[in-house]
Structure 1
Amino acid sequence: MSLTVKRRLGVISAQLFKARMTRPFGSSSVPNPLPATFLRGGTSKGIFLNKAHLPSERAKWDPIFLGIMGSPDPEHGRQLNGMGGGVSSLSKICVVAEATPEQKAQDIDVEYTFVQVGIRDSSIDYSGNCGNLSSMIGAYALDEGLCSISRGRRHATVRSFNTNTQKIIDTTFPVSETGVPSLNIPEATVAGVPGKTSQIILDFVNPGGARTGKLLPTGNAVDQLEIAVPSLTRTIKVSLVDTTNPTVFVDLNELNDFLPVEGYIQNKSDALQEVGSVLEIIRQEGARRMGLDPSAQAQPKIAMLSAPANTVDSNIVIHALSMGVLHKAVPMTVGLCLGVASKVQGTIPWAIVQASKTSDTDLVRIRHPGGLVDVGAEFGEDGQVKSAKVVRTGRFLMKGHVFW
């Protein structure tokens, strides 16, 4: 093929790409494909979008996000037509924007909205936040030019405002001399992720009452829920805690009294339906007690807790569910919520940790199916949560355009 022909084909391809860059959407046009960045944050991956490239009306976002992720995929649940990976931790989107003048007056650099996209259905959930992807908001915003830092600094701290929970979150991470994120320094590891990369400090500021306005929405450290399960109706103890994300905590041993929980954890088919349906009943009843919508799949989360076999290794063991599926690690907002709840006297997490603590460290070491994570929480003299921190890592995976 001659050089002239190649050049002509290149021009034609560019024209075709430009023609496909917009799709009529009501009275306006939305880029298709959209400028996007694909990122890993902690044990999650997601698409990050600049809010400026989306319709001003949020009601018009849903079909775009479903198209990006390849949802719904009712038959296979693999999202092969999009960027999703067939599990909740890979079906996520973050929409990031420059801070408003009012936010900048409060030293906020950027705002963002987290979106959990359904896999087999068309659900779009804005009710909660993702701690793992939150760890990469600062790096994305800096790379996208939505905020800036002074050159010559070794670390940047970006303060973001999460619109889902109306909370402020700081991320601190290394930067190069020119002020761009430097995420390939061998500093830290995260359970469930291979290799060692730069340490990102994720700090939720005043995280209590993320959805309900109260750390303990019912005012109780432990509540009794009445649930109807096959062949019987019984009560079960739960701790309903709302920080970073509202979570229903239940003692795994109590469930073991009437459910094949061990088989469920081991993914045995005969236990999945039975245990999963009961956990969903408990989650929904917990949501009602917290004043939340029980039909929202993403919020609240539910997690089973137990004492560690080795108290030197960890302080508490968690098996958490996300969108009705047992999580292979722990959703980071749930891990942070557990870290805070472990310091609230009388809760189920507090009782387990008190029995397993072998040192005076302020950190709570949590064992989850993917490994270990240390979580720290700081309380004020008034008993309110001032901060919840955890170490994460992240990586830029792709920057370009995504079709929807």
Structure 2
Amino acid sequence: MASQTKLIFNTNPIPASFLRGGTSKGIFLQRAHLPSSKADWKHIFLGIMGSPDPDFGRQLNGMGGGVSSLSKICVVEPPTPEQRSKHSIDVQYTFAQVGIKDDSIDYSGNCGNLTSMIGAYALDEKMCRVDRSEDGKARVRCFNTNTQKIIDTTFPVSESGVPNLDLPETSIAGVSGKSSQIICEYLNPAGARTGKLLPTSNPTDKLPFMLSDGQPASISASLMDASNPSVLVLSDELRSLGLDVDNYIVGKEHSSQPVTKALESIRQQGALTMKLDPTAQAQPKIAFLSTPTSDSDLEDKVDVVVHALSMGIMHKAVPMTLGLCLGVAAKVEGTLAWNIVQNSRCVESGSQNAFVRIRHPGGIVDVGAEIAADGKVESAKVVRTGRRLMKGVVWW
């Protein structure tokens, strides 16, 4: 076994698939094709993505695309016998967020977008068997090693059991055209990293932080941990602190540095408060929320507007795990998201399990959360699409 691992370790290139899942793209690898020790993966992943690229940030020497949503790797493997027998898990996977300008490899969280393609990849690679339902769908139960959580992915398959991802069933914001519907259901998503839905036991906390000029300030924040930990703040409160959020949103350079520095300071303080590593840029993520006020918001029955950051850069859509966390937060009384949604939503009072409509820079996403009578979050659900882009080998 040792000699086999050594042979694989020294083999360049290695088998890989390049897949789109939701609004992300990433390299999918089998763990059997990597060194047995996770500590030996780093230089392989950096080589695959073309990182670090401190001068240009474009990752032109690898498969990355210069933004966080294109600098991702999933390592997939069969479940253990215990996982299969006790929890009916079909496949397990580890997600890696690869740094762009630096050499960081972050395993602290999951990617909700690429999760949508784990089941399809596992079937393509014959890692698990196909159970095709009467309506032509297959459900693959996935275990994420980063968060120790279970996610069910359901999607169409052919009669021979091959994932059928090209049906014109649905579209998602940020991706052109229609594709097959992939339903991702996160089971018991609360406490993915901290063990608690509300790591501080409070729906809203006051966080101290530093403005870019070194002046101390404080801001209200909801610290949530569902699918991934997140720090949620209000755009209006950022404005009240003198931060030019509006020009930051549209990319005006003069406002970027003060707002970015302030948000990173808030994010790091949120991480410390949740007892997480503040230097891990991928987790927790931070987002600022707004009340829907535009005519299009009202016409589209939007519940909450979000602008999220990923790896310190404003996301062109919304990281799906943050979107799921926000959908759950909107159902928890006293959170900043709950307060906004209560004032804006159009669903009937008491419809606790209705979908939450979230507008982000790329469009609208509907996120569902199943909340039990005792307040336990039983599941969070979102619709995604995906596509095979390439299968072959990748050099590192």
Using the size of structure 1 for normalisation, the TM-score is: 0.92
Indicate yes or no: 2:274 matched with 1:290: yes
**1:79–1:378 distance in 2 versus 1, CA, 3 Å:** same
Q: For residue 19 of structure 1, what is the aligned residue in structure 2?
A: none
Deviation digits for residues 222-270 of structure 1 (CA, Å, limit 9, x no counterpart) = 1001122226322210000000110000000000111011111111111
SS in 2 for 1:102: helix
Match of 2:191 among 192, 209, 226: 209
Indicate yes or no: 2:356 matched with 1:364: yes
Q: Which has the larger radius of gyration?
A: 1
Question: Structure 2 CA distance, aligned partners of 1:338 and 1:299?
Answer: 15
Indicate yes or no: 2:228 matched with 1:240: no
**1:140–1:26 distance in 2 versus 1, CA, 3 Å:** closer
Superposition deviation, residue 151 in structure 1: 5.9
Superposition deviation, residue 172 in structure 1: 0.0
Asked if the contact 1:311–1:358 (Cα under 8 Å) also holds between the matched residues in 2, the reply is no
Give 5+ residue unaligned stretches, structure 2.
none
Mapping for residues 228-377 of structure 1, pairs under 5 Å: 228-229=210-211, 230=213, 232-257=215-240, 258-309=242-293, 310-313=297-300, 314-360=302-348, 362-377=354-369
Asked if the contact 1:239–1:347 (Cα under 8 Å) also holds between the matched residues in 2, the reply is yes
Question: Structure 1 CA distance, aligned partners of 2:140 and 2:303?
Answer: 31
Match of 2:119 among 138, 148, 157: 138
Asked if the contact 2:98–2:104 (Cα under 8 Å) also holds between the matched residues in 1, the reply is yes
Match of 1:61 among 23, 31, 41: 41
Question: After the TM superposition, which of the residue ranges 294-303 and 312-321 deviates more from structure 2?
Answer: 312-321
Give 5+ residue unaligned stretches, structure 1.
1-23
Asked if the contact 2:5–2:34 (Cα under 8 Å) also holds between the matched residues in 1, the reply is no
Question: Structure 1 CA distance, aligned partners of 2:159 and 2:252?
Answer: 52
SS in 2 for 1:311: helix
Question: Structure 1 CA distance, aligned partners of 2:303 and 2:272?
Answer: 30
Deviation digits for residues 318-375 of structure 1 (CA, Å, limit 9, x no counterpart) = 0000000000000000000000000000000000000001122601000000000000
Deviation digits for residues 104-157 of structure 1 (CA, Å, limit 9, x no counterpart) = 112000100000000010000000000000000000000001101146751100
Question: Structure 2 CA distance, aligned partners of 1:398 and 1:307?
Answer: 41
- Match for 1:240: what amino acid? L
Q: For residue 386 of structure 2, what is the aligned residue in structure 1?
A: 394
Superposition deviation, residue 196 in structure 1: 0.3
Q: For residue 108 of structure 1, what is the aligned residue in structure 2?
A: 89
Question: Structure 2 CA distance, aligned partners of 1:66 and 1:181?
Answer: 30
Question: Structure 2 CA distance, aligned partners of 1:278 and 1:400?
Answer: 43
Asked if the contact 2:317–2:362 (Cα under 8 Å) also holds between the matched residues in 1, the reply is yes
Q: For residue 180 of structure 1, what is the aligned residue in structure 2?
A: 162
Asked if the contact 1:311–1:357 (Cα under 8 Å) also holds between the matched residues in 2, the reply is no
Superposition deviation, residue 384 in structure 1: 1.2
Q: For residue 109 of structure 2, what is the aligned residue in structure 1?
A: 128
Asked if the contact 1:151–1:178 (Cα under 8 Å) also holds between the matched residues in 2, the reply is no
SS in 2 for 1:47: strand
Q: For residue 55 of structure 2, what is the aligned residue in structure 1?
A: 75
- Match for 1:316: what amino acid? V
Cα RMSD, aligned residues only: 1.5
SS in 1 for 2:138: strand
**1:150–1:157 distance in 2 versus 1, CA, 3 Å:** closer
Report how many residues are paired: 382
- Match for 2:232: what amino acid? F
Question: Structure 2 CA distance, aligned partners of 1:341 and 1:131?
Answer: 16
Question: After the TM superposition, which of the residue ranges 228-237 and 88-97 deviates more from structure 2?
Answer: 228-237
Q: For residue 191 of structure 1, what is the aligned residue in structure 2?
A: 173
Q: For residue 66 of structure 2, what is the aligned residue in structure 1?
A: 86
